[in-house]
């Protein structure tokens, strides 16, 4: 049976998966169904659907050779479940907004061309985002699409934080620290305010998103004052397939020794670097603890990862003048107690003290009652931020004619 209210489709595209969710087109969007196309090999994928009823849970293999095919699979699934072929808008997560975009804009031809110019900033994400946008355009002619840039949250960094120590002339080429994971941090700050109150959420807060793409942000009085990721998402802490911070001299040295060009140099800090490169086994932090007893490299990479997260948290504690709250989120932060424990073991000096029982049961508050710093686990939901942005931008709660956006 068709729904009388066409939904917002939120698409969260990544290099190895595409998450999606349908939301009611209202001022406070409610999720109806969501899912993931997860790549296994060359887009030999698994489609997972989750909804409010047991019958809505589906996991099955699908063939998705590229992002456009993955979108086709998602829209086919949506149509079968809803019994109609209308959407009111599509919102996309876009990683790099460059210097020109912070607030979510409507996607136009000019914006798509701007994103294409960012390919040189980040060769990994913007091309995929354009493919997804174009795939939706082929399905729905005239459908409003909105871009929600991950660089939006840290866009108000203090002047000292984003500035690299290079000659000012490079500022004209937009070389600066951008910070990323902004959609996730928006969610975390909103949930934190709802949990502890708006006043407490104005304190000295370290937001940590330890996952396959890992980053941290320091927040005080609301806005971000610093971020671990920089000009690209490769900067900062060690990640699944990214090296994190590395001495640029070593890249030049290795490039010269191997006689590689600029494009090949990227492979020293991106796939197959990071957790996968060090462990030589796997990149998923949720899997590594089970492998460490039989694999020395897996054990070493866990130690290295937790050290880097603790190191950045300590640096941000100095920048903030202390810590009131640490928030852990992302796939690892939300569901890997052993990793959380190891991260926090190195943070006793600013007052972080975990309760092992709370941590083992994935409690929302995992610090001890005596700890000076509240340590919390908060589920992040970037799709809801995308849906809310689309609703605000299009004023969907006032009613938008659905028939204008029929599948063409």
**Would you call 150 a catalytic residue per the annotation?**
yes
Paired tokens of 88: 């009111």
Q: Cα separations (Å) of 220 from 203, 226, 276, 316, 317? A: 6, 10, 34, 11, 11
Q: At 92, give phi and psi (nearest 5°).
A: -120, 140
Paired tokens of 254: 């290795």
CA dist 220 and 201 (Å) reads: 8
Q: Would you say 43 and 70 are in contact if contact means Cβ atoms under 8 Å apart?
A: yes
Task: Give the total residue count for the chain.
Answer: 408
CA dist 338 and 355 (Å) reads: 12
Helix, strand, coil fractions of the chain, as percent rounded to 5? 40, 20, 40
Within the chain, how many helices (H) and strands (E) appear? 13, 12
* ∠ CA 146-149-152, rounded to 5°: 125
Q: At 34, give phi and psi (nearest 5°).
A: -150, 175
The 10 Å Cβ neighbour count of residue 27 is 12
Residues with Cβ within 8 Å of residue 179, at least 6 apart in sequence: 151, 153, 154, 157, 162, 215, 217, 224, 227, 228, 229, 230
CA dist 178 and 227 (Å) reads: 8
Annotated active-site residue in 122, 150, 324, 359: 150
CA dihedral 378, 381, 384, 390 (to 10 degrees): 120
The whole-angstrom distance between residue 61's C-alpha and the CA centroid of its chain comes to 25
Q: Would you say 201 and 189 are in contact if contact means Cβ atoms under 8 Å apart?
A: yes
Q: Cα separations (Å) of 255 from 133, 235, 295? A: 35, 19, 30
DSSP state, residue 283:
-
Q: Mind telling me the catalytic residues?
A: 150
């Amino acid at each position: 049976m068709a729904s009388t209210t066409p939904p917002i489709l939120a698409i969260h595209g990544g290099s190895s998966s595409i998450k999606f969710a349908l939301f009611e087109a209202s001022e406070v969007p409610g999720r109806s169904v969501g899912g993931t196309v997860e790549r296994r090999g060359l887009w030999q994928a698994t489609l997972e659907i989750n909804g409010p009823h047991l019958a809505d849970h589906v996991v099955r293999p699908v063939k998705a050779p590229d992002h456009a095919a993955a979108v086709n699979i998602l829209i086919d699934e949506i149509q079968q479940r809803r019994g109609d072929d209308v959407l009111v808008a599509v919102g996309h997560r876009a990683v790099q907004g460059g210097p020109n975009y912070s607030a979510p804009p409507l996607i136009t031809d000019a914006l798509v061309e701007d994103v294409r110019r960012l390919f040189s900033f980040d060769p990994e994400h913007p091309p995929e985002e354009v493919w997804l946008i174009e795939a939706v355009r082929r399905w729905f002619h005239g459908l409003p699409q909105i871009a929600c840039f991950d660089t939006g949250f840290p866009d108000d960094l203090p002047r000292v934080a984003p500035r690299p120590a290079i000659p000012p002339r490079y500022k004209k080429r937009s070389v600066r620290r951008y910070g990323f994971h902004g959609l996730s941090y928006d969610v975390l700050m909103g949930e934190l305010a709802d949990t502890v109150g708006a006043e407490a959420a104005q304190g000295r807060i370290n937001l940590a998103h330890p996952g396959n793409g890992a980053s941290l942000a320091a927040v005080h009085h609301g806005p971000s004052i610093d971020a671990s990721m920089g000009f690209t998402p490769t900067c900062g802490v060690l990640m699944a397939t990214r090296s994190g911070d590395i001495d640029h001299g070593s890249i030049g040295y290795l490039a010269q020794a191997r006689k590689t060009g600029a494009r090949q140099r990227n492979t020293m800090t991106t796939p197959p670097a990071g957790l996968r490169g060090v462990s030589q086994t796997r990149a998923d932090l949720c899997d590594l603890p089970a492998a460490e007893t039989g694999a020395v490299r897996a054990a070493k990479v866990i130690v290295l990862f937790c050290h880097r997260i603790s190191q950045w948290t300590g640096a941000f504690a100095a920048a903030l003048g202390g810590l009131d709250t640490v928030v852990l989120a992302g796939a690892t932060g939300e569901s890997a107690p052993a990793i959380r424990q190891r991260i926090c073991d190195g943070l006793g000096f600013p007052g972080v003290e975990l309760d092992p029982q709370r941590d083992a049961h994935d409690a929302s508050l995992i610090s001890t009652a005596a700890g000076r710093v509240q340590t919390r686990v908060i589920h992040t939901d970037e799709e809801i931020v995308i849906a809310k942005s689309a609703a605000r931008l299009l004023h969907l709660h006032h009613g938008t004619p659905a028939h204008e956006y029929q599948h063409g």
